């Protein structure tokens, strides 16, 4: 029984299923990805929902309070 089983999408009323997603955030001038984030995803419109606990862990990651798994360089182009 998933946390999201009885929930409905706020936007379209679709069913919500649990998935792990990659969360992208920009923090100041840095691009940060958090992998394997458990989220509720609407099967109709793709809207993502996160529980308070998950958001707290994401915030801790974004502010460097957790050990990063990996740092990758993003491609940079010059015109």
What is the token pair recorded at 53? 């606990």
Residue 42 makes contact with Zn ion by CB under 5 A? yes
Q: Which span sits near Zn ion by CB under 5 A: 22-30, 34-42, 51-59, 65-73?
A: 34-42
- DSSP assignments along 23-34, one per residue: EEEEETTEEEEE
Q: Which residue in the set 22, 27, 45, 68 belongs to the binding site for Zn ion (CB under 5 A)?
A: 45
Residue 23 makes contact with Zn ion by CB under 5 A? no
Three-class SS string for 45-75? CCCEECCHHHHHHHHHHHCCCCCCCCCCCCC
Interface residues with Zn ion (CB under 5 A) are 9, 11-12, 14, 42, 44-45, 47
């Amino acid at each position: 029984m998933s946390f999201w089983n009885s929930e409905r999408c706020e936007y379209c009323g679709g069913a919500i299923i649990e998935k792990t997603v990659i969360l992208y955030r920009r923090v100041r001038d840095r691009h940060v990805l958090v992998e394997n984030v458990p989220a509720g995803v609407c099967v109709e419109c793709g809207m993502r929902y996160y529980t308070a606990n998950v958001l707290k862990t994401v915030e801790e990651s974004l502010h460097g309070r957790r050990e990063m798994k990996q740092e990758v360089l993003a491609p940079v182009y010059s015109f």
